[in-house]
Amino acid sequence: MDSDSVWVISHSEATVRLLVATLLGGLIGWEREHNNHPAGLRTHILVSVGSALIMLLSIYGFSDFVDEENVRMDPARLAAQVVSGIGFLGAGTILRQGLTVSGLTTAASLWVVAGIGLATGAGFVFPAVVTTVLALVSLEVLNRLERFIFTRKRLKLIRILVADEPGKLGELATSIGEVGGSVRKVRIDEGDPSEETIEITFTVRLPEGISVVKLVEAAREISGVKEVKTD
């Protein structure tokens, strides 16, 4: 096949693309590593360079068959599987603890890094560089700006084991409101039948500056309350 064919790439050009993918993925990975997130420098580099390799393989790996009869080349077919496949890796970084879901941003950064690797492998280097810059701005600069602008309000789970008596739900909700919390959701579960108790779980939004300890103390002052737990 002609060396000038669009289906042929030199070793030096392929090496440059893989190195660029390593650099761009590493920049985003460094930010994640620096902020102690589950997927850091090495993971992002591997995702980026692996995606670039798959794109190179998809475009140039089957060039020997281009001139064969009844062969249609689709340079995006193999690479397209990266987009869906990266979801399994990203899902591994997502954790849920009570009402808190962490790792979503890291999962998204892995998805973006996969796209950067694919673009770099295809020779679409400038958009890959721009995307890297935008991703770093979103992860680092906008994160600080978000903390500065928005008053942070927290969602807390308050589990209260209380005597199964009329009016206890209202008393507890009132005490939460007096402290400054806002009840967003209530769930009532069966407690210990032998002790005639129920477990009431409140999802409470707490403004900045109000300690969850105040909610616990207010709940414990109500007669009939056996136990108070928080998440």
Contacts of 92 (CB under 8 A, 6+ apart): 38
Query: Distance between CA 138 and CA 188 in Å, rounded?
Result: 40
Please check whether residue 21 is in contact with residue 48, taking contact to mean a CB–CB distance below 8 angstroms: yes
CATH architecture, range 154-230? 2-Layer Sandwich (3.30)
> CA separation (Å) from 126 to 75, 174, 186, 190, 218?
20, 58, 51, 60, 58
- The boundaries of every CATH 3.30.70.260 domain in the chain are 154-230
Of 207, 220, 202, 226, nearest in space to 98 by CA: 202
Query: Distance between CA 223 and CA 11 in Å, rounded?
Result: 78
231 residues of the chain, pLDDT tens digit each: 555 577 788 899 999 999 999 999 999 999 888 776 767 889 899 999 999 999 999 888 877 666 667 667 777 778 888 888 887 777 777 665 544 556 778 888 899 999 999 999 999 999 999 999 999 998 888 777 766 655 455 677 888 888 888 888 888 888 888 888 888 888 888 777 777 888 888 888 877 777 788 888 888 888 888 888 887
